[in-house]
Amino acid sequence: MLPSLALASLMSSPDSDFASDSKSLFIIEISITTKFYKLSLLSFLTRSYEFWWLFISFWDWLRLN
């Protein structure tokens, strides 16, 4: 949805502003995508039982060695 929206707004912009608009929209899209992936990874890790089990096992292994 976001790439098509960015493309539509780029196509409606004048040719003189095309380079600056595409660069700023590209940066905004990258930052939104990066934040989304970080949040989804964080929520997956905090909700997953396997992550905590691995973390506790690794902590025990470190403590014993």
For 29, residues 6+ apart whose C-beta sits below 8 A from its C-beta are 2, 3, 6
Q: Is residue 15 scored above 70 in pLDDT?
A: no
Quick: pLDDT tens for 16-65. 555 556 666 666 677 777 777 777 777 776 676 777 788 888 888 888 87
Q: Is 61 buried (19+), middle (13-18) or exposed (0-12) by CB count in 10 A?
A: exposed
pLDDT of residue 18: 52
pLDDT of residue 1: 45
Residue 20: closest CA among 5, 10, 12, 34 = 10
d(CA 18, CA 23): 8
- Token pair, residue 43, equals 């929520």
Domain boundaries, the chain: 2-64
